[in-house]
Structure 1
Amino acid sequence: MRANRLREIWAQGRPAINAWCNLPGGFSAELMAAMGWDAVTIDTQHGLIGYTEMLAMLQAVSTTPAVPLVRVSWNQPGEIMRALDAGAYGVICPMINDAAECAAFVQACRYPPDGFRSFGPTRAMVYGGGDYHAHANTELLTFAMIETAQGLANVEAIVATPGLDGVYIGPSDLSLAIGGPPGQDSDAPALMAAFETILQACQAAGVKAGVHTNSLAYSKTMVERGFDMVTVGNDARYLRSGGREASDMRAWLAAR
C-alpha cells in the first residue's frame, strides 16, 4: 500500500503543513496541492463541495505528493466510508463530544476486527495499491475535532480512544463554546488555555495535535507551541488576497 507521508513526517519528528480547500473543483484542488503542502484537506462540511466534486478533487490532489484528507460534514459512518473509498488517506470528523462518539468515528474508518468499515475501496485501492485492505487500518489517519465545551471537558477520554491518531482544533467553534467570538488566529487567554489543555492531553496520550490557522505567522506560533499539524490557509482566502491586489491597482489608477 502507498505509504502515508504524514506518518513518515511525524516519525522524523517534524510538523506537517496542511492546506485547505473550500471551493469545489478539480483544477483548483490541483493548484493548491501543487504548492508543496504536506497534505491538502477537502472540506465537505463548510466547504461548498459535494461527493462528485470531492472525488474529482481527491484525484487532483493525487497528482502531487500531498496527502489527501477529507473533513466530513458529520460523524456519519456512511459518509466517512465513502470518503475513504474515494481515496482519502485520512478523515477529520467535526464535533466529537465524548469517547463514545470518538469510538464510533474511529471504527467507521477501520475494517474488522478494529472497526466496522464495509469493504468496497473502489478508488482507494487504485490510489493506495492492491494490498490496500491489508494495511488500511494502520496507514489511514483519524482526526477527531475538539470544538465544543463538552469535547473540551472530555478531551482526556477522547484521546484515549483506541485507533485515534489525532485531534484537530476548530478554533471558531471552540471559542464560541467557551463564550468568545468566532474567528481565526485569536490570542484570547481563555482560548489559549483551551488549546494548551488539548495539546497536553494529546501529548500525554501519544496522539497528534492539529490546529486550523489563517496565517503563516500564527501557524509558526502554533508549531512552536508543539502542534504536529497546522493548516496555514485555504483556497478562498488566497483568492480574496489576489482580489485585494487588483483592488489596490484600481485605487492606484483612480488616484492618477
Structure 2
Amino acid sequence: MANLLRSGDTLLTAWSSLPSADLVDHLATTGFDAVTLDMQHGGHDERSVWDGLSAIINRQKCAVVRIPVGRNDMTSRALDMGADAIIAPMINSEEDARAFADAAKYPPLGSRSWGATRAQSLRGLEGGNKFLASANNETLALAMIETREAVTALDDILAVDGIDGVFVGPSDLSIGWTNGDRVDPTLDDMMKAIAMIASKTRDAGKLAGIFSMNPSDAPRFTQMGFQLIALGFETSLISAGAQRFIKAAKDGDQIDLDGGY
C-alpha cells in the first residue's frame, strides 16, 4: 500500500462499520483497492479486526484500521495483526502526533514492541530482521485532521518523524468550522482549507487521504492531491444497490449482475 501511494497511485477504500468478516470479505472482492475497518464510530472490535484483516489480506487488498480516539495501544496491535495502515482520529497537536507515531514505528522512530508474527504469516514473509528493516517504511501512520486545532497545528504534525501522512475528516471539521452550528462535509467555505491541507501535506513529502461522503466529490479531492479516498460506508453501498434494484424491478430496467444467481 505504501509503495502504491508513494508511486503516485490513487487508492479507493471501502469503509466497513459492521463487524462481519463475511461482509468484509465481500467488500474485498469488489473493485475497491482497500478496505478500512472502523473501530472509532463503527462496530469493529479487536476480534472483528483480527478476522477482517485476514479476509482483506487473503483477497490481496490493502488493509486499513481506524483506531478509537487515543487508543495508541491498538495502533501496534492492529499492525501486528496485519494492517497496512492505521488512521488515528483527533490528532490535534504535535504531542498527539508524537504519541501516535511512537506506537506505530519501531526504533529509532518509535518504541513499537516486537510481535508481528501474524502480520508476517498472513503475507508469507520470512525473516524477522528483514521485516523489521522494512516495517517502518511499509506500514503507514495517518493522523486525522478534523478540528480547527489540528489545522492550526498542521505544520507541526507533518514535521513529526513517523507520521506518514494525514487523513481529513470533513464532517467533524465542518462542525468546528461552523462553531458547532452544523455538520456538512461538503461545506463550500471549508474547501479552501481542505485543499490547503492536501497541498501542505504533499509539500512535506507525505500522503493525504480524505473521507468522501459523496462519490461525485472524489475527482475534486484527487485534483487537490488526496490519494487515499474513502467512499461512504458499506451500509450506504447496500442502500444504493437496493434502491437501484428496486427501481429496475419497477421500471423493467436491465442490470448486469456479476456473480448473481
Displacement after TM superposition at 1:122 (Å)? 3.9
Tell me which residue corresponds to 2:167.
168
Asked whether the 8 Å contact 2:143–2:165 carries over to 1, the reply is yes
Mapped partners of 1:226, 1:171: distance in 2: 15
Mapped partners of 1:207, 1:242: distance in 2: 35
For 2:126, give the aligned amino acid: G
Instruction: Kindly indicate whether residue 103 of structure 2 is the aligned counterpart of residue 108 of structure 1.
Output: yes
**Aligned to 1:219, what secondary structure does the other structure show?**
helix
For structure 1, which segment, 153-162 or 8-17, has the greater mean C-alpha deviation from structure 2 after superposition?
A: 8-17
For 2:164, give the aligned amino acid: D
Displacement after TM superposition at 1:9 (Å)? 2.1
Displacement after TM superposition at 1:102 (Å)? 0.3
Mapped partners of 1:138, 1:118: distance in 2: 16
Displacement after TM superposition at 1:36 (Å)? 2.6
1:82-101 matched pairs, under 5 angstroms: 82-101=77-96
Q: 1:124 aligns with which of 119, 122, 138?
A: 119
For 1:167, give the aligned amino acid: V
Mapped partners of 2:113, 2:5: distance in 1: 29
TM-score scaled by length of structure 2: 0.87
Mapped partners of 1:203, 1:8: distance in 2: 15
Mapped partners of 1:242, 1:36: distance in 2: 15
Q: Deviations over 1:152-177 (max 9, x none)?
A: 11111111111211100001000001
Displacement after TM superposition at 1:238 (Å)? 0.9
**Aligned to 1:19, what secondary structure does the other structure show?**
strand
Displacement after TM superposition at 1:250 (Å)? 8.3
Displacement after TM superposition at 1:249 (Å)? 7.0
Q: Deviations over 1:103-128 (max 9, x none)?
A: 11011011122211111124212124
Mapped partners of 1:166, 1:15: distance in 2: 14
Mapped partners of 1:91, 1:13: distance in 2: 19
**Percent identity (aligned):** 31
Instruction: Kindly indicate whether residue 136 of structure 2 is the aligned counterpart of residue 140 of structure 1.
Output: no
Asked whether the 8 Å contact 1:36–1:66 carries over to 2, the reply is no
Q: Structure 1 residues 251 and 181 mapped into 2: Cα distance closer, same or farther (>3 Å)?
A: farther
Tell me which residue corresponds to 1:8.
3
TM-score scaled by length of structure 1: 0.89
Mapped partners of 2:195, 2:248: distance in 1: 42
CA root-mean-square deviation: 2.0
